[in-house]
C-alpha cells in the first residue's frame, strides 16, 4: 500500500525512543508463499522521555496476535504503525505473531526469495517488513533466531552470530523439516539482522587473529559458483589482517559468513557476522571477471568487513548520521586498497580512480536538484540518501581529518572513538569530537566548529588560487579565495576549512623549497589551511618564478581554479613529484581544449603541443602502464558537463569523439608500440602491475581500431577479433570486444553473437554483454542513433528482465546514466524511454526506480531543446498518482 502524501522527516525532530527492546527471540517457519514469524521481546520503557504509547513499525505484514506478558492486549493499527496505548510501565514481555509473503516481495527489502532461496535485506527500514518492531538504529537488542524449513530445499540455515543448535524436526504430517538456532552476543540495531536459507555451498577457511584466537570464515554461494569465491576469500583475509595492523581492530566473532545473492539492490550489506553480497560484488574467475571486477570485489569485501567496527560495534543514532558509518568505511576501504596496491605509483592510481568517481557522481549531485549535506537535514525516503555525497564526499571529509591531524593522530582519534562509543548508537559530532580530543592543539581541534561545516553545507566549494612572484624580493605570494555556490535550501554559506597541500616547482620542474614568511621550517610540501573567504600566504627565498602544484593528492573535495597556463600545466605534467597532480595537469590540458571547442561551437582541433605532451607520457620509459592509461584517458563527459553553465550533451560528445579520433591518428605508432609492449604471456593475476598493463593494451587497441575506422584499415579490427577469440581472460576478451563495438566495426556483430553464445549461462557475464551495448558511444554523423535503437531492441531480448536489478541496470542505466549522447536526443526519445522505465520499475522495485529517476537531477542546466523535453518527461512521471515515496521524492525535488 502506498501512502498518498509522503512525510518529511527532519533531523532537528530527533527524539529518543519511548521504549527499548533489549532482547528479541525470533522464530521463522519459512515458506515462500507464507512465512510465519513469531517474535518474543523484552521491552523496557525509556524513562528519560515523556510517557507515551508503544508504536511499532510494520509494513506489508499480516498480524496474527499480540500478547503482553502472555495476555492479549488492545492495540490499534494506523498506517504503518501498530500502536499499544497502555503498555506497562514495568519491563514486560511482548509476543507478536505475523506472516509475510517472501516470494511476492519484488522490492528486495525485507524477507524475499531469489533463485529458490531466502534472503533478507533490512537496511535501512526492511526489518519492519519482517515483523513489527522499533525499526530504528538507536534501538539495539540481542537476537536469538530459530529458523525452520524444508530440509531438502533449504539445507543451509543461517543467521547472525553463533550457531547454538541444529537438527531435524519431528512435526506431525510434516516430512523432512529441520531447524537451526543462532545467537548473536552483540546488541545490534534491527537493520543489521539477517537470515539466509537455501541450497548453498561454502568455501571455508580457518584463520587466527594476532591474539591467537581462531575464526571460521565462510563464503556461501550456489553450487556451481564455488570456484569463483577464491578471490573474495583472499580479500576477506587481507581485510582482517589490515584492520588489525592499521587500526588494531580484530574480528570479534567466532564465525564470519559472507553470502552471495543474484537479486540485490546494492553492492553488499554488512549484517553482523553474515554479510550478504550481490554476486556481482563477490564472484570472480579470470575467465569471467575483469581486472576492474577483481579490484571492486576486493574493496567491497573489505568495506563490508570494516563495517563490523565502523557501523556495527559503533552504529548510527539516526539515519541522518549515515555518513558516520559510510563515509568512514569508504575512507577505510580506500586506504586499504591503496595499501594493497603497494608502490607509490599504484597508490596514486587508486587515488585518481577514487577522485574520478567523486567527480563523475558526487560533483553533479552537489550541483543538482538532490544536492544535500553529508549529514542531510531532512528526507522523506531514507533509501534515497545512500548517495555519492554521503559515501564519497563523506569519505573525503574523513580524509581531511587525517590530513589535519596526521596519520598517527587519526589512529589515536579512532582509538578514542571506540573507547568512548563501543556498543553505542552515536552521531557525526561524536566522531568529530573524538578525533579532535585525541589531538589537542592540532589544526583540526583549534577550528573544529568551522570544520564541521563540511557536514552541514551542501555544494562543492570553489577555490581560486592566484600567485604573484616578486623577483627582487624573492617572494611568492599565493592568494586563496573560496566561494561556495548556493544549493537548494541553502543560499548563504560560511567559509569552510580547506586543507590545501602544495609544492612549488621551478620552470624546469625542480622542487623549490617552501618557507612561509615568519616560519623557520623549510619543507618540500606543505598543507595550508584555508578557513577565511580569502587568505594570502607569502613564501620567502623563492629563487625563481615558481609553478605552483596545488591541492596535491586532492587534499579537499573542491573545484580548484589555479589559473595556470598551458605552459605551466605542461611543466606539472612532465615533472610534478605528486603523481595525482601530474595526472590532473594532463586532464586539465585536455579539458581546456574540449571546453574551448564546446564553448565556441567550433570543431575541436588538437594542437601539436598537447599531442607531443601526451606522446611523451605514452613513450615514457619509467612511468607505469596504469598511470599512462589513466592519464591518456580523456575526462568523462559528465565531468566535462560539470564545467559548463549550459550543457549540450551532443556538443560535448562531438568534441570528445574528435579528440579521440585525433589522438588515435596522431599517436598511431605510439599506440602500436604500447600495445605490443604490454602483452602478458604468463598466467593471469589481477595485481596492479599486470592489470595496468592490460588496461593500457586495451586502450591502445581501442585507439587502433578507432583509427582503422577513419583509414579503412582492416588489420587492427582483425587483430582485435582474433584477440577477442583467443583471450585467456575476461579483461582482454572484453577489452577487444569493446574496441570493436565502440568503433562500430563490422566485426562487432559476430563478436557480440559469439560472446553471448559462449557465456549464455553466466548471468554476470551476460550483464556485461548488455552493459557494453548500452554504453556504446553514438557516432557523430549518419550512424548516430544506433546505440539507442539497439537498446530498445535489447529490451525485447529473451535474457532481459526488469526484475533482476543487475540486469535492469546493465541495459537501462548504461544508456540513461553512462551514455549521455545516446540518451539526450533532440527528438526526446531518450526521455520518453526513461519515463517508461521509471514507471515500469517503480511497480516492481522502488529503490531501483528512484535511482533511475535521478538521471534527471540536472535537467535544469540542459540546453534547448533538451531542457524542455526533459521537463515534459519528468512531468509525465510526476502525473502518476501512485508513485512510490522513493520516486516521488526525487521527482518533486527535480521539479522544485
Question: Applying CB under 6 A, which residues contact ligand PHE?
Answer: 121, 123-124, 265-266, 268-270, 303-304, 307, 326, 386
Please report how close the Cβ of residue 188 comes to ligand PHE at its closest, in angstroms.
Answer: 13
List the beta bridge partners of residue 483.
Answer: 462
Residue-wise DSSP of 612-679: HHHHHHHH-SSS-HHHHHHHHSPPPHHHHHHT-SSB-HHHHHHHHHHHHHHHHHHTHHHHHHHHHHT-
Please report how close the Cβ of residue 805 comes to ligand PHE at its closest, in angstroms.
Answer: 11
Residue 8 is classified by DSSP as P
Q: 258 near 228, Cβ under 8 Å?
A: no
Residue-wise DSSP of 373-428: -SS-SEES-GGGG--HIIIIIHHHHHHHHHHHHHHHHHHHHHHHHHHHHTT-EE-H
Place of cell 549464455: 760
Please report how close the Cβ of residue 800 comes to Zn ion at its closest, in angstroms.
Answer: 29
Q: Which is nearer to Zn ion, 323 or 662 (CB)?
A: 323
Which of the listed partners (Zn ion, ligand PHE, none) does 135 bind, with a CB threshold of 5 to 8 Å by partner kind?
none
Closest residue to bound ligand PHE by CB: 266
Please report how close the Cβ of residue 395 comes to ligand PHE at its closest, in angstroms.
Answer: 11
Q: Which is nearer to ligand PHE, 220 or 391 (CB)?
A: 391
Q: Which is nearer to ligand PHE, 121 or 367 (CB)?
A: 121
Q: Which is nearer to ligand PHE, 121 or 402 (CB)?
A: 121
| Known catalytic residue at 531 | no
On the 0-12 / 13-18 / 19+ scale of CB atoms within 10 A, 338 is middle
Q: Which is nearer to Zn ion, 98 or 275 (CB)?
A: 275
Q: Which is nearer to ligand PHE, 139 or 695 (CB)?
A: 139
Please report how close the Cβ of residue 388 comes to ligand PHE at its closest, in angstroms.
Answer: 12
Place of cell 514507471: 839
Please report how close the Cβ of residue 52 comes to ligand PHE at its closest, in angstroms.
Answer: 29
Please report how close the Cβ of residue 121 comes to Zn ion at its closest, in angstroms.
Answer: 13
Tell which residue, 196, 201, 255, 209, has the closest CA to residue 229. Answer: 201
Which of the listed partners (Zn ion, ligand PHE, none) does 269 bind, with a CB threshold of 5 to 8 Å by partner kind?
ligand PHE
What number of H helices and E strands is found in the chain?
A: 30, 32
Please report how close the Cβ of residue 859 comes to ligand PHE at its closest, in angstroms.
Answer: 26
The alpha carbon of 122 is separated from its chain's Cα centroid by a whole number of angstroms, namely: 19
Q: Which is nearer to Zn ion, 316 or 559 (CB)?
A: 316
Which of the listed partners (Zn ion, ligand PHE, none) does 386 bind, with a CB threshold of 5 to 8 Å by partner kind?
ligand PHE
Q: Which is nearer to ligand PHE, 124 or 855 (CB)?
A: 124
Q: Which is nearer to ligand PHE, 126 or 553 (CB)?
A: 126
Lookup: cell for 358 = 567523486
| CA 614 to each of CA 27, 583, 611, 629: distance values in angstroms, whole numbers, following the listed order | 64, 11, 5, 11
Using CA atoms, how far apart are residues 814 and 775, in angstroms rounded to an integer?
A: 5
Q: 506 near 534, Cβ under 8 Å?
A: no
Tell which residue, 188, 221, 446, 219, has the closest CA to residue 325. Answer: 188
Angle at 641 between CA 636 and CA 643, to 5 degrees: 105
List the beta bridge partners of residue 206.
Answer: 216
Please report how close the Cβ of residue 126 comes to ligand PHE at its closest, in angstroms.
Answer: 8
Q: 330 near 391, Cβ under 8 Å?
A: yes
**Residues of this chain, 301-330, that bind Zn ion according to CB under 5 A:** 326, 329
**Residues of this chain, 326-365, that bind Zn ion according to CB under 5 A:** 326, 329
Which of the listed partners (Zn ion, ligand PHE, none) does 266 bind, with a CB threshold of 5 to 8 Å by partner kind?
ligand PHE
Tell which residue, 171, 255, 270, has the closest CA to residue 215. Answer: 255
Q: Give the gyration radius of the chain's Cα atoms.
A: 28
Residue-wise DSSP of 768-819: HHHHHHHHPPPPSGGGTTHHHHHHHHHTTSTT--SSSHHHHIIIIIHHHHH-
Q: Which is nearer to ligand PHE, 268 or 550 (CB)?
A: 268
Using CA atoms, how far apart are residues 870 and 854, in angstroms rounded to an integer?
A: 12
The one catalytic residue in 59, 125, 304, 778 is: 304
Per DSSP, helices labelled H in 288-371 are: 291-307, 322-341, 344-357, 363-366
Around 33, how many Cα atoms within 13 Å sit in the side-chain half-sphere? 0
Please report how close the Cβ of residue 369 comes to ligand PHE at its closest, in angstroms.
Answer: 22
Please report how close the Cβ of residue 49 comes to ligand PHE at its closest, in angstroms.
Answer: 28
Which of the listed partners (ligand PHE, Zn ion, none) does 121 bind, with a CB threshold of 5 to 8 Å by partner kind?
ligand PHE
Using CA atoms, how far apart are residues 762 and 285, in angstroms rounded to an integer?
A: 12
Q: Which pairs with CB-CB distance under 8 Å and at least 24 residues apart come from 538-542?
A: 538/475, 538/476, 538/477, 538/478, 539/475, 539/476, 539/477, 539/478, 539/504, 539/514, 539/515, 540/474, 540/475, 540/515, 540/516, 541/474, 541/513, 541/515, 542/469, 542/474, 542/475, 542/476, 542/504, 542/512
Q: Which is nearer to Zn ion, 198 or 311 (CB)?
A: 311
**Binding-site ranges for Zn ion (CB under 5 A):** 326, 329
- Tell me the catalytic residues: 304
Amino acid at each position: 500500500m502506498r501512502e498518498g502524501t509522503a512525510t518529511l522527516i527532519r533531523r532537528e525532530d530527533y527524539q529518543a525512543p519511548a521504549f527499548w527492546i533489549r532482547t528479541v527471540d525470533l522464530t521463522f517457519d519459512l515458506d515462500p508463499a507464507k512465512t510465519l514469524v513469531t517474535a518474543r521481546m523484552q521491552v523496557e520503557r525509556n524513562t528519560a522521555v515523556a510517557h507515551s504509547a508503544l508504536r511499532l513499525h510494520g509494513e506489508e505484514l499480516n498480524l496474527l496476535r499480540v500478547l503482553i506478558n502472555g495476555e492479549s492486549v488492545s492495540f490499534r493499527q494506523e498506517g504503518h504503525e501498530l500502536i499499544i496505548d497502555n503498555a506497562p510501565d514495568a519491563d514486560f514481555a511482548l509476543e507478536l505473531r505475523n506472516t509475510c509473503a517472501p516470494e511476492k516481495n519484488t522490492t528486495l527489502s525485507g524477507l524475499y526469495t531469489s533463485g529458490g532461496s531466502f534472503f533478507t535485506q533490512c537496511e535501512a527500514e526492511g526489518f519492519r517488513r519482517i515483523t513489527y518492531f522499533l525499526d530504528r538504529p538507536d534501538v539495539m537488542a540481542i537476537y536469538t533466531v530459530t529458523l525452520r524449513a524444508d530440509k531438502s530445499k533449504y539445507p543451509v540455515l543461517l543467521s547472525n552470530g553463533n550457531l547454538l543448535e541444529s537438527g531435524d524436526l519431528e512435526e506431525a504430517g510434516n516430512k523432512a523439516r529441520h531447524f537451526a538456532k543462532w545467537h548473536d552476543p552483540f546488541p545490534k540495531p534491527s537493520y543489521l539482522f539477517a537470515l539466509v536459507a537455501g541450497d548453498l555451498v561454502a568455501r571455508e577457511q580457518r584463520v587466527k587473529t594476532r591474539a591467537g584466537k581462531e575464526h571460521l570464515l565462510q563464503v556461501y554461494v550456489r553450487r556451481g559458483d564455488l570456484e569463483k569465491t577464491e578471490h573474495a576469500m583472499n580479500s576477506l583475509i587481507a581485510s582482517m589482517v589490515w584492520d588489525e595492523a592499521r587500526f588494531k581492530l580484530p574480528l570479534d566473532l567466532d564465525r564470519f559468513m559472507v553470502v552471495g545473492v543474484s537479486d540485490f539492490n546494492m553492492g553488499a550489506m554488512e549484517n553482523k557476522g553474515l554479510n550478504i553480497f550481490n554476486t556481482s560484488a563477490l564472484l570472480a574467475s579470470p575467465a569471467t571477471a575483469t581486472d576492474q571486477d577483481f579490484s571492486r570485489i576486493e574493496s567491497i569485501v573489505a568495506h563490508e568487513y570494516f563495517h563490523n567496527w565502523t557501523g556495527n560495534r559503533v552504529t548510527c543514532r539516526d539515519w541522518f548520521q549515515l555518513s558516520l558509518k559510510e563515509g568512514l568505511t569508504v575512507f577505510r576501504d580506500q586506504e586499504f586498497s591503496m595499501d594493497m596496491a603497494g608502490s607509490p605509483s599504484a597508490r596514486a592510481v587508486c587515488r585518481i580512480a577514487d577522485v574520478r568517481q567523486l567527480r563523475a557522481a558526487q560533483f553533479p549531485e552537489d550541483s543538482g536538484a538532490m544536492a544535500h549535506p553529508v549529514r542531510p537535514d531532512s528526507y522523506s525516503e531514507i533509501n534515497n540518501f545512500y548517495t555519492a555525497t554521503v559515501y564519497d564526499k563523506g569519505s573525503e571529509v574523513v580524509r581531511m581529518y587525517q590530513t589535519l591531524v596526521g596519520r598517527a593522530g587519526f589512529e589515536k582519534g579512532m582509538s578514542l572513538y571506540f573507547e568512548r562509543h563501543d556498543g553505542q548508537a552515536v552521531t557525526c559530532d561524536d566522531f568529530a569530537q573524538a578525533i579532535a580530543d585525541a589531538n589537542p592543539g592540532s589544526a583540526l581541534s583549534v577550528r573544529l566548529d568551522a570544520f564541521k561545516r563540511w557536514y552541514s553545507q551542501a555544494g562543492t566549494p570553489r577555490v581560486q588560487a592566484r600567485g604573484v612572484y616578486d623577483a627582487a624580493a624573492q617572494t611568492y605570494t599565493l592568494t586563496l579565495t573560496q566561494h561556495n555556490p548556493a544549493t537548494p535550501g541553502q543560499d548563504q554559506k560560511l567559509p569552510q576549512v580547506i586543507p590545501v597541500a602544495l609544492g612549488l616547482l621551478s620552470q624546469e620542474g625542480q622542487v623549490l623549497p617552501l618557507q612561509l614568511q615568519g616560519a623557520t621550517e623549510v619543507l618540500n610540501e606543505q598543507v595550508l589551511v584555508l578557513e577565511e573567504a580569502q587568505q594570502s600566504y607569502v613564501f620567502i627565498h623563492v629563487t625563481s618564478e615558481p609553478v605552483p602544484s596545488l591541492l596535491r593528492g586532492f587534499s579537499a573535495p573542491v573545484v580548484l581554479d589555479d589559473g595556470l597556463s598551458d605552459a605551466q600545466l605542461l611543466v606539472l605534467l612532465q615533472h610534478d613529484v605528486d603523481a595525482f597532480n601530474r595526472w590532473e595537469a594532463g586532464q586539465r590540458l585536455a579539458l581546456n581544449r574540449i571546453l574551448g571547442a564546446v564553448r565556441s561551437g567550433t570543431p575541436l582541433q588538437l594542437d601539436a603541443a598537447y599531442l607531443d605532451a601526451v606522446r611523451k607520457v605514452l613513450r615514457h620509459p619509467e612511468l607505469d602502464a596504469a598511470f599512462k592509461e589513466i592519464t591518456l584517458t580523456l575526462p568523462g563527459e559528465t565531468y566535462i558537463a560539470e564545467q559548463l553553465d549550459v550543457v549540450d550533451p551532443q556538443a560535448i560528445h562531438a568534441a570528445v569523439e574528435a579528440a579521440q579520433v585525433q589522438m588515435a591518428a596522431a599517436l598511431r605508432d605510439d599506440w602500436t608500440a604500447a600495445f605490443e609492449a604490454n602483452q602478458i604471456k604468463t598466467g593471469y593475476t589481477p595485481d596492479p602491475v599486470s592489470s595496468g598493463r592490460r588496461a593500457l593494451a586495451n586502450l591502445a587497441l581501442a585507439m587502433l581500431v578507432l583509427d582503422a575506422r577513419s583509414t579503412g584499415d582492416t588489420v587492427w579490427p582483425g587483430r582485435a577479433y582474433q584477440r577477442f577469440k583467443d583471450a585467456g581472460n575476461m579483461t582482454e576478451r572484453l577489452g577487444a570486444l569493446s574496441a570493436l563495438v565502440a568503433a562500430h566495426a563490422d566485426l562487432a556483430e559476430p563478436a557480440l553473437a559469439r560472446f553471448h553464445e559462449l557465456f549464455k549461462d553466466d548471468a554476470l557475464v551476460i550483464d556485461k554483454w548488455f552493459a557494453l551495448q548500452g554504453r556504446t558511444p553514438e557516432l557523430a554523423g549518419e550512424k548516430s542513433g544506433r546505440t539507442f535503437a539497439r537498446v530498445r531492441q535489447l529490451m525485447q531480448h529473451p535474457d532481459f528482465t526488469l526484475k533482476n536489478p543487475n540486469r535492469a541496470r546493465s541495459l537501462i542505466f548504461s544508456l540513461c546514466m553512462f551514455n549521455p549522447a545516446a540518451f539526450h536526443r533532440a527528438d526526446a526519445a531518450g526521455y520518453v524511454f526513461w519515463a517508461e522505465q521509471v514507471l515500469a520499475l517503480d511497480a516492481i522495485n522502488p529503490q531501483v526506480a528512484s535511482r533511475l529517476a535521478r538521471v534527471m537531477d540536472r535537467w535544469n542546466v540542459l540546453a534547448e531543446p533538451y531542457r524542455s523535453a526533459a521537463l515534459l518527461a519528468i512531468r509525465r512521471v510526476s502525473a502518476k498518482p501512485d508513485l512510490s515515496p522513493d520516486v516521488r521524492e526525487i521527482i518533486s525535488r527535480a521539479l522544485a
